[in-house]
Amino acid sequence: MEIITQYGSLLLILACVFGFFMAWGIGANDVANAMGTSVGSGALTLKQAILVAMIFEFAGAYLAGGEVTSTIRKGIIDSNYIADQPEVMVYGMLSALLAAGTWLLIASLRGWPVSTTHSIIGAIVGFAIVGISASAVNWGKVGTIAASWIVSPLLAGTISFCLFMSVKSLILDADNPFERAKRYVPIYMWMVGFMIAMVTLLKGLKHVGLEIDLGSGSTFIDAAVISFLAGLVVALIGFLMLRKLKPIDNDTYRFASVEQVFAILMIFTACAMAFAHGSNDVANAVGPLAAIASIIGSGGEIAAKSAMPWWILIIGGMGIVVGLATYGWRVILTVGKKITELTPSRGFAAELGAATTVVLASGTGIPISTTHTLVGAVLGVGMARGIAAINLRTVGSIFLSWIITLPAGASLSILFFLIFRGIFS
């Protein structure tokens, strides 16, 4: 308690700096989840994608980024072990933010798309082992998260593969692909409207304080009903727009007219995914920051939940925007161009497959990484053209970066925790 009283202001300033650094890492690395396929397929230029993501990521982070957040992200450690040692919690959260931010900086410089959630979880586990006790860690939950390395990319890849094969069968392989596109694309538009509404309702707006209650007793079912209607609206708008669309004369590429339809679709999915991502993943940066602010503000009391002041969401949102503007292009190009060649129709299948996986995971409680999900979806689309269409060297580097994310976050966090404890204690 004495340390909190003596160094409270300094610790809070450090927390704000490290929280901004962690949010910077989210922007530099994780925003590729929403924009990588759009850039890779040519639906958006890199500059357009960065501008769109800056607007919608910040809006998601600030407007729906969390009224209340768990003090310990994802319930990885039991705070009862340190109820009478609030300074240990503060050192630990400072270490976790700095460690996760450092690993995201390294990964972003290399162009590796890694999970920001796994980075902060690895960091929290690291400080808990050294600063508290290994028994304070919920190892069952850590194991479940590790299992998601296989489950999420496999599920997303399978869904995306099936989606693209349906596009290929119904539209691209037909004698008149443009006319077939005008007939079947409204169905895909309904799917886009449904899935993006589900992602936004289940992940993007779950903290904003609005309750979805249609009387079914299940948030998931209520969200599905609203999303079904949202999908119909999107499909109707798409149908009316497609009636006015004229085919493009292109002798070198017979699918040019079809791809312009999917390019328009991808712009909408990219905006909505950026909003949902900003609202959900900003918690990886602002959650530990809010915990530190709560402990210092209360004079050392560790609460199970901590309020989310508006200024903390501003720090998180600004950090994401700055990270995206400065280094986001590296990971965007890895996801969009270096795994497999994407066209708007392939990118659409990947993005919708990833969104579908996120919705299924939200409904069933499976912990997944949006990064792993999208990379798996891109791989699934690539596999639809055969293994030769995939850059195995890039995929190998990505998989290796996934495996070392948890231990890298943990190792850095241990180092920083020992330094902070040595300085302040």
Domain membership of residue 323 as a residue range: 2-424
User: What pLDDT, on the 0 to 100 scale, is given for residue 94?
Assistant: 93
Amino acid letter, residue 409 = G
User: What pLDDT, on the 0 to 100 scale, is given for residue 378?
Assistant: 92
355: left (phi over 0), alpha (psi -120 to 50) or beta: alpha
DSSP three-state, residue 77 = strand
User: What pLDDT, on the 0 to 100 scale, is given for residue 21?
Assistant: 95
Alpha helices in 246-391 (DSSP H): 256-281, 283-297, 310-333, 344-364, 370-383
Helices (H) and strands (E) in the chain, counts: 14, 2
Element (H, E) at 303: none
User: What pLDDT, on the 0 to 100 scale, is given for residue 68?
Assistant: 42
What stretches in the chain show pLDDT beneath 70?
Answer: 1, 64-75, 203-213, 215-216, 249-254, 280, 299-307, 362-367
User: What pLDDT, on the 0 to 100 scale, is given for residue 71?
Assistant: 42
Into how many domains does the chain fold? 1
| Rounded CA separation 50/9 (Å) | 35
Could you tell me the end-to-end alpha-carbon distance of the chain, in angstroms, rounded to an integer?
12
DSSP three-state, residue 307 = strand
Residue that has been written with the tokens 């850059």 in this structure: 391
Q: CB–CB of 25/100 below 8 Å?
A: yes
DSSP three-state, residue 92 = helix
- Provide the angle, in degrees to the nearest 10, between the axes of the packed helices 86-110 and 310-333: 30
| Rounded CA separation 4/12 (Å) | 10
User: What pLDDT, on the 0 to 100 scale, is given for residue 157?
Assistant: 93
User: What pLDDT, on the 0 to 100 scale, is given for residue 15?
Assistant: 92
Of 182, 179, 176, 224, nearest to 200 by C-alpha is: 224
